[in-house]
Chain A
Amino acid sequence: MYKSPILKWILGVYYGLFLLFLYGPFIVMGILSFQPQNGGPQFPMRGFSIYWYEQLLGIIGTSRAAPLPVGPALVRSLILAFMVMVTSTVLGTITAQAFRHRFKHTGFMFYLVMLGFIVPGVLVGLGVALVSNQLHIDKHWWLTGYIVHVIYTFPFSFLVMLAIFNRFDRSVEEASASLGAGAATTFRKITFPLVFPGILTSLLIAFTLSYDEFPRSIFAGGPQLTLPLTIYGQFGIEIHPNLFAFGVLSTLFSFALLAVFAILIAISVKRRARGRGIQEEIR
């Protein structure tokens, strides 16, 4: 089947069309973000300028379009994503550690964690909002918003760490201990380097998911909006190319994050390849 050259060609062409379908809207958005001042959020292009980028970043004071209120929201979203990624990775690592021992109801615990992304965000947000109304607890992005974000990212951190521990040879830790290394040395020299790529992956996924999260925050996030909620607020009103400029910048930001992650992973892999001399260090 996979040897048929005709079929391979047909599927190859189809793959090309698929990429066009996937990236087409991004390309169009990218082009339109360079509309000049009198250009609208659609074709034709009335020229080519970085006017809407300047407008977005507040370099140009007055404009026919209201500025996107992204500044404070961006700061909130970054702080929140940072809090969430740390909590989620710690919770995910501890819970995945528990799965290294046998215990009853493994399946129950597994699906309890998975519920965090199986239950739709709008329901999680609604439930938490109801409880906080009832208990008269004020909703804030750093309190109830933070709680619902961790519910969402925890399953992903857990799965990543579970996959890491499943491929982890327990005997290297035991060997280290029997060679006289203390618990701290074993963790620093053996356990941590082995699980480090997993921790990095978990941090990246949790950060990205939290940074982009909005169905949960819409009810549980409180009055001070995070970045996605600010953008969602633009959905009901007339859009201008500054929204596209924002889209381009936020896409570049996501890619930059991915690039930093790739570089860190590459460094850690190289160090491990070099670090075959771990035995000597312990000695």
Chain B
Amino acid sequence: MSGQRGNWFTRHWQLIPGSAWMILFLIAPLIMMIYVSFWTQTSFDIKPDLTTKSWQTFFSQPVYYSALWNTIRVWLIVLVGTFVLGVPVAIFIGLFVRSNTVQTILLVLAVIPFWTSFLVRIVAWKPMLGQNGALNIILMKAHIISEPLSFLLYTEVGMIIGMIQIYLVFVVGPVTFMLSRIDPNVIEAARDLGAGTGRIFKDILLPLSRPGLVTGAIFVSVLVLGEFATPASLSGRKVNLLGNVIVTQVGSLKWAFASVAGVVLTVVIALVIVGLLRITDLRKEV
């Protein structure tokens, strides 16, 4: 028995550093967060006396539970937006461009903004969207509008525009990658055998690009659900997501209350990820 265990150790010790880091520094703190969400919060301190008071407050006050609905609404809008805008780009690069070199160049151009600072990307939207912003100037010069649009900055619209632009990359990248690997001869053969465009899409393109679609959806979902910087900046603090609730509560040292919002966010993310992984097990794709 001990010999076997020694054997296990020499063969699998490499699992230990990575799993230790994740369990000690990620899993344990998340369990701590669940525990603290039941602590008693006074105005200056928290005590480890268990209570459900913070939970009751969260689900009884509209300020807080509306953050939950805001988070889910914004997540759905941005997810649909990035797919509607991103998938045609992926189809163009992956299926219509035949030269490998051109394909690579077009894909690199589409994903390069990923390498730039996230906060810079948010800031860059301010001079675009404002009352005197570039977008209004262009639209007025083109005589499409006569008055500057005021709903672009410090509104939910501005925040959504910013988020879609920032997170588009995560749909375009993986989906293009999967589409470009499809052998054109397969599509050709299907067509020769009499399959229509709809059939080709449903039976060839969709299944073969599914891992890319799921990867993209996971990236966008995880990033949008945990957002707080873009709403704080581009919505002018008008839209409150769960992330904003957590930041505000920690700012006023309401750790128990922040933990409640944290646990709620964890549950939402877990449901979304488990749902997406039911479509494709990414483990098999690496």
Show the binding face of A for B, using Cβ within 8 Å.
1-2, 7-8, 11-12, 14-15, 18-19, 21-26, 28-29, 32, 41-43, 91-92, 94-95, 97-98, 101, 103, 106-107, 109-124, 126-131, 133-134, 147-148, 150-151, 154, 158-159, 162-163, 166, 208, 212, 214-215, 218-219, 228, 231-232, 235-236, 239, 243-244, 246-247, 250-251, 254-255, 257-258
Contact = CB atoms under 8 A, between A and B. Distances in A.
Contact of A2 (B184, B223, B250): B184
Nearest to B229: A232
B226 A120 contact: yes
Interface in B219-275: 222-223, 225-226, 228-229, 232-233, 243, 246-247, 250, 255, 258-259, 262, 265-266, 269, 273
A241 to B, nearest CB: 9
Contact of A127 (B32, B110, B247): B32
Interface stretch (B51-59, B60-68, B90-98, B206-214): B90-98
B116 A254 contact: yes
A21 B117 CA distance: 17
A106 B255 CA distance: 36
A26 B29 contact: no
Closest 5 CB pairs of A and B: A120-B226, A127-B29, A98-B14, A25-B124, A95-B18
B6 to A, nearest CB: 15
Contacts of A11: 88, 91-92, 96
Given A22-B165, A109-B15, A131-B28, A126 B22 contact: no
Nearest to A247: B120
B137 interface: yes
21 contacts: A1-B197, A2-B96, A2-B184, A8-B92, A11-B88, A29-B120, A94-B14, A95-B19, A109-B19, A117-B222, A119-B26, A122-B226, A126-B33, A130-B32, A162-B286, A163-B286, A212-B117, A214-B229, A232-B229, A236-B232, A243-B123
Contacts, number: 241
Of the candidates B124, B128, B218, B232, the one having the most CB atoms from chain A within 10 angstroms of its own CB is B124
B92 A15 contact: yes
Interface of B is mostly: helix
B250 to A, nearest CB: 6
B25 A147 contact: yes
A212 B258 CA distance: 24
B222 A150 contact: no
Contacts of A151: 21-22, 25-26
A28 B119 contact: no
B12 A101 contact: yes
A262 to B, nearest CB: 10
Given A122-B228, A123-B30, A112 B19 contact: yes
